């Protein structure tokens, strides 16, 4: 540790206490990266655990005084490297700020700190007959702060939307230590710019979220679940299109390709149809006869499209088993090798073309690529499986990753639907949004973080991280 580093580390210890600052390299290494294991990462000089907004203010004032980069981090469940460390910087881990501060049934809102786990919030409001809908696949361990930073979605987006749809207000500590409170507790409010949503999805580059006021929904009714298998992607795409055009709004509509079906069946021994080209899983949570009617209508659409098999159930346990197959897709693929997880959203009318395109890329690159995704909103997660110790496979895997992004853009889609740009896709952002939009991004960044200390190099290349983490 250099003299300069020792100086600001001592100031951090004075500010948050010795138990809130880690500098042992063997320990801090475990906070160097998120779940995107192949994204570039540095080594933090210090890992800091604030317990309050005042602690965060103190940390950012120290960082600003000494010009030290700060990377905010939640549970580390991200999949784009957005919380990966910067060499010599501070990794600010928000997990000790984990209080549900308020639940207001009358206003249908909750006020929480960023370290609250998604499922913890769901459980906290359930007793009041309320529901926090955003449900990333990692909902039982990812944090609300991380969900806010990447504007996470989940399985229920088709009906309930994504994280930003539930943000009423935020408390944010800016790079210079000032505390910004933005938003409101009311149902409506248009006073000034919508600054709360500016910070949602900003991946820790504009400020550190220390509190969120979130809208809640009435708890959903007992769901009815459907599973259907198809011989072709065209049939699957037809069902998705008909769901939209006929006005059905299932609470969940998910798709798995044959690679995922086989991998999950190998893992769970769930007696899945291993020859099916695609599996759709859907739920309706409108309750009672309404849910039964919605699933019956969806069943008819599947049969009209030529489904190989259609099965529905109102048994909660059986429904959970069907959903388990979808939720276990990534763990099942990870058993086959290392993974590069893509996150491309395409128009729902182009889902079949996207699935077929991923099959072609897998064949052209000579790799296994499994696709699972949120068919209801077009957000697909192609996962490239390879051996990272084989240089040729590694090169082909990153090539396939780029091919998939190119395919998504060609179909009128986006390079990320919910995982964020992180450090994995910084070279792709300008290709999607264009130079004018990128210049606006940089202007906003410069206005709020003129020294470029907050998560530098994430989302777009700027500041010291570009040189530190260039692959």
Q: What are phi and psi of 416, to 5 degrees?
A: -155, 130
Give yes or no: residues 195 and 268 share one domain: no
Give yes or no: residues 256 and 331 share one domain: yes
Give yes or no: residues 232 and 284 share one domain: yes
Instruction: Report if residue 208 sits inside a domain.
Output: yes
Q: How far is CA 58 from CA 112, 200, 263, in A?
A: 21, 23, 48
197 pLDDT above the threshold of 50: yes
Last residue of a domain, one of 49, 65, 95: 95
pLDDT at 466: 36
Give yes or no: residues 132 and 161 share one domain: yes
467 pLDDT above the threshold of 60: no
- CATH number of the domain enclosing 145: 3.30.465.10
Instruction: Report if residue 333 sits inside a domain.
Output: yes
Last residue of a domain, one of 48, 68, 95: 95
- Cα separation, 235 vs 308, in Å, equals 10
> Per 3-state DSSP, what percentage of the chain is helix, strand, and coil (rounded to 5)?
40, 20, 40
Instruction: Report if residue 453 sits inside a domain.
Output: no
Give yes or no: residues 40 and 180 share one domain: no
Instruction: Report if residue 421 sits inside a domain.
Output: no
Give yes or no: residues 343 and 400 share one domain: yes
Give yes or no: residues 228 and 370 share one domain: yes
Give yes or no: residues 230 and 358 share one domain: yes
- Write out pLDDT tens, residues 13-66: 999 999 999 999 999 999 999 988 788 899 999 999 999 999 999 999 999 999
Give yes or no: residues 402 and 343 share one domain: yes
And the tokens for 281?
A: 């899983």
Instruction: Report if residue 456 sits inside a domain.
Output: no
Instruction: Report if residue 327 sits inside a domain.
Output: yes
Give yes or no: residues 204 and 329 share one domain: no
135 pLDDT above the threshold of 60: yes
462 pLDDT above the threshold of 80: no
- CATH number of the domain enclosing 278: 3.40.462.40
What angle is formed at CA 238 by the lines to CA 234 and CA 244, rounded to 5 degrees?
A: 150
Categorize the per-residue pLDDT at 112 as very low, low, confident or very high, splitting at 50, 70 and 90.
Answer: very high
Give yes or no: residues 331 and 403 share one domain: yes
Please provide the average confidence, as pLDDT, over all residues in the chain: 94
Q: Where are the alpha helices (DSSP H) in 116-232?
A: 118-126, 144-150, 157-160, 195-199
Q: How many domains does the chain have?
A: 3
Categorize the per-residue pLDDT at 3 as very low, low, confident or very high, splitting at 50, 70 and 90.
Answer: low
Instruction: Report if residue 75 sits inside a domain.
Output: yes
Last residue of a domain, one of 410, 427, 456: 410
% of the chain residues with pLDDT over 70 = 97
Give yes or no: residues 88 and 209 share one domain: no
- Write out pLDDT tens, residues 382-409: 999 999 999 999 999 999 999 999 999 9
What angle is formed at CA 374 by the lines to CA 373 and CA 380, rounded to 5 degrees?
A: 40
- CATH number of the domain enclosing 60: 3.30.43.10
Task: Name which of 239, 376, 363, 246 is nearest 299 in CA terms.
Answer: 239
Question: Domain span at residue 13?
Answer: 3-95
Q: How far is CA 14 from CA 70, 126, 298, 302, 343, in A?
A: 18, 40, 61, 63, 42
Instruction: Report if residue 31 sits inside a domain.
Output: yes
Q: What are phi and psi of 387, to 5 degrees?
A: -100, 110
- Write out pLDDT tens, residues 311-352: 999 998 999 988 888 889 999 999 999 999 999 999 999 999
Count of CB atoms within 10 A of residue 88's CB? 18
């Amino acid at each position: 540790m250099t003299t300069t580093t020792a100086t600001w580390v001592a100031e951090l210890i004075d500010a948050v206490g010795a138990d809130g600052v880690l500098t042992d390299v063997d320990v801090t290494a475990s906070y160097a990266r998120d779940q995107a294991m192949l994204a570039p990462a540095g080594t933090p000089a210090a890992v800091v655990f604030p317990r309050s907004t005042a602690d965060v203010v103190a940390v950012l004032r120290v960082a600003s005084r000494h010009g030290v980069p700060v990377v905010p981090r939640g549970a580390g469940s991200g999949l784009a490297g957005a919380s990966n460390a910067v060499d010599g910087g501070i990794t600010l881990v928000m997990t000790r700020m984990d209080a549900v501060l308020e639940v207001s049934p009358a206003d249908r809102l909750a006020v929480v700190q960023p370290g609250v786990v998604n499922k913890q919030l769901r459980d906290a409001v359930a007793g009041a007959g309320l529901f926090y809908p955003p449900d990333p696949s990692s909902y039982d361990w990812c944090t609300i702060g991380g969900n806010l930073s990447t504007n996470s979605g989940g399985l229920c987006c088709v009906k309930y939307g994504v994280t930003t749809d539930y943000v009423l207000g935020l408390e944010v500590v800016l790079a210079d230590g000032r505390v910004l409170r933005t938003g409101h507790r009311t149902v409506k409010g248009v006073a000034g710019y919508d600054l709360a949503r500016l910070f949602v999805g900003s991946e820790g580059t504009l400020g550190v979220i220390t509190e969120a006021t979130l809208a809640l929904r009435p708890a959903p009714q007992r769901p009815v679940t459907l599973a259907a298998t198809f011989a072709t992607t065209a049939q699957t795409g037809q069902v998705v299109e008909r769901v939209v055009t006929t006005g059905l709004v299932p609470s969940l509509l998910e798709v798995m390709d044959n690679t995922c079906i086989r991998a999950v069946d190998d893992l769970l021994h769930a007696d899945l149809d291993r020859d099916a080209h695609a599996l759709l899983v859907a739920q309706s949570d409108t309750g009672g006869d309404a849910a039964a009617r919605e699933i019956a209508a969806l069943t008819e659409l599947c049969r009209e499209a030529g489904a190989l098999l259609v099965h529905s159930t109102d048994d909660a346990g059986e429904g959970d088993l069907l959903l388990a197959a979808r939720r276990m897709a990534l763990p099942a693929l990870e058993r086959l090798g290392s993974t590069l997880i893509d996150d491309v959203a395409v128009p729902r009318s182009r889902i079949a073309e996207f699935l077929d395109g991923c099959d072609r890329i897998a064949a052209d690159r000579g790799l296994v690529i499994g696709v699972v995704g949120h068919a209801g909103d077009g957000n697909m997660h192609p996962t490239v499986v390879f051996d990272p110790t084989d240089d040729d496979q590694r090169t082909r895997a990153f090539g396939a990753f780029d091919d998939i992004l190119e395919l998504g853009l060609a179909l009128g889609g986006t390079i990320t639907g919910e995982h964020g740009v992180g450090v994995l896709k910084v070279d792709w952002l300008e290709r999607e949004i264009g130079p004018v939009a990128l210049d606006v991004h940089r202007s906003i960044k410069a206005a709020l973080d003129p020294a470029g200390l907050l998560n530098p190099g994430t989302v777009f290349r700027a500041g010291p991280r570009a040189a530190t983490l260039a692959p």
